[in-house]
Amino acid sequence: MTLSLACLSAEAQRPPAFQPNYDEAQVPAYTLPDPLVLADGRPVKTARAWRTKRRTEILELFQTHVYGRNPVRTPKPSFEVTSTDRLALGGKATRKEVSVFLTGRKDGTKMDLLIYLPNDVKKPVPAFLGLNFYGNHTIHSDPGITLSPQWMRDSAELGVVNNRATEAARGKRASRWQVETILARGYALATIYYGDLEPDSAEGWKQGVRAALSPDGAKTEFAPDDWGAIGVWAWGLSRALDYLEQDREIDGKRVAVMGHSRLGKTSLWAGAQDERFAMVISNDSGCGGAALSRRQFGETVERINNSFPHWFCGNFKKYNRNEAALPVDQHQLIALMAPRPVYVASAEEDRWADPRGEFLATKHAEPVYRLFRKGGLGVAEMPPVNQPVGDTIGYHIRTGAHDVTAYDWEQYLNFADRHLGK
């Protein structure tokens, strides 16, 4: 089976990287690699063949050409619950803070996991897990959340001064997390500042996990398929799941991993590698996330590699202005979640992230879900705004811009109710 979408213009008409294309008529003709054809050309006809052969092939291709591969051996993390408040948020929740020592040693690299659990709900409960951009203290105004001591980008709006969070930062990103709504629906919420794992800059690896896990601690060059920052952040989500699996108040078999923007790319890569995640959610993840790279719409492979050279592996740069040569595309990344539920969300004004490309990626993952007799989107065409679609694959495009909103969370919670139960 060949997945081919012909458009009006050819590669020669592609606009320069600094002038993103927002015209569907200028999307080049492209052919997607088939998720159900093995490298040797044989078709994949059964769920068993997918699990034992094709899934392994595709995962290896993403490790080699896009995200890089994790170290073969990493230390077993250790955990310490540093605070517990059973009467948080006016008695509605239990708040826990957990230090996750990523090298297993208390004097090594650590990340701080913030957890809210609903009170007066039978335990264990399902949970949402995600990374945040500006510290755990930004997801809610709760004064009991420890203020992150980590380096952050200066932002007067977000209460960061001289690269350090201030008290003014509390709750500055609360709208993106909808804590009370999540708790009221019977779910726990767990989150980590992504900078705990690796600061988001080209030199950030020197203060993060990649340096901590380097044999000599001072590696200055990476192999072309070594993991980038997205790989590190995804690895950290799996280490958080290690803890959630041992917390008796959380059902470790019902944890949904969720991320927005670059952290949506991260949640997809985490879910692709770690099948313990019961559900995977991508919010406005765009290029290198849920959007098809071959469309070259909005942000392109070249643009993302030039702007954020540390996110992906070195090999990914070979596909700058050369997307057609990529042996994979993002519909195959979504297919790696099968048969688990996966939800992709777009925003109408977020053309940079290519909403149509995100929809098409979910659509072209459907054949893999059919092997497992699972429903996909259930529609042939991209739905109108604010009209969610899908069965085991979910999708919506909402009104508004690049953000996580209460509307998005309503859809994720509805999707979780269907697939994770309460």
Give the integer Cα–Cα distance in Å for 404 and 398: 10
Cβ–Cβ < 8 Å for 132, 237: no
What is the DSSP code (8-state) at residue 153? -
Read off the amino acid at residue 110.
Answer: K
pTM: 0.95
Cβ–Cβ < 8 Å for 14, 28: yes
What is the per-residue pLDDT for 219?
Answer: 59
388-412 tens-digit pLDDT = 999 999 999 999 999 999 999 999 9
What is the per-residue pLDDT for 237?
Answer: 98
241: which residues sit within 8 A by CB, 6+ positions away? 129, 252, 255, 257, 274, 276, 277
In a domain, 282, yes or no: yes
In a domain, 104, yes or no: no
Phi/psi for 257 (5° steps) reads -100, 130
List the CATH number of the domain containing 263. Answer: 3.40.50.1820
Q: How many CA atoms lie within 13 A of 303 on its CB side?
A: 18
334: which residues sit within 8 A by CB, 6+ positions away? 268, 290, 342, 344, 361, 362, 365, 393
What is the per-residue pLDDT for 422?
Answer: 61
CA distances from 327 to 21, 163, 317, 358, 421 (A): 23, 40, 13, 18, 37
Cβ–Cβ < 8 Å for 153, 141: no
In a domain, 92, yes or no: no
Structure-block tokens of residue 252: 């470790």
In a domain, 158, yes or no: yes
What is the per-residue pLDDT for 218?
Answer: 58
Give the integer Cα–Cα distance in Å for 18 and 16: 5
Structure-block tokens of residue 359: 């929809």
In a domain, 291, yes or no: yes
Helix, strand, coil % in the chain, rounded to nearest 5: 35, 20, 45
In a domain, 25, yes or no: yes
In a domain, 86, yes or no: no
What is the per-residue pLDDT for 5?
Answer: 42
Q: In the chain, how many domains are there?
A: 1
Return the active site residues: 261, 402
Nearest to residue 323, comparing CAs of 357, 374, 275, 372? 357
What is the per-residue pLDDT for 316?
Answer: 98
CA distances from 234 to 132, 257, 296, 359 (A): 13, 10, 25, 23
Q: Please work out, in degrees rounded to the nearest 5, the angle formed at the alpha carbon of residue 185 by the alpha carbons of 184 and 189.
A: 85
Cβ–Cβ < 8 Å for 129, 209: no
198-254 tens-digit pLDDT = 999 999 999 999 999 987 655 568 999 999 999 999 999 999 999 999 999 999 999
Helix (H) or strand (E) holding 273: helix 262-273
Give the domain range for residue 217.
Answer: 3-76+114-419
In a domain, 313, yes or no: yes
Name the maximum alpha-carbon separation found in the chain: 62
Structure-block tokens of residue 280: 């995977």
**Sheet with strand 188-193: strands edge to edge:** 78-88, 93-101, 110-118, 188-193, 125-132, 250-260, 279-283, 342-347, 393-398, 389-390
Stretches in the chain below the pLDDT threshold 70: 1-18, 216-220, 422
What is the per-residue pLDDT for 1?
Answer: 42
Helix (H) or strand (E) holding 334: helix 330-335
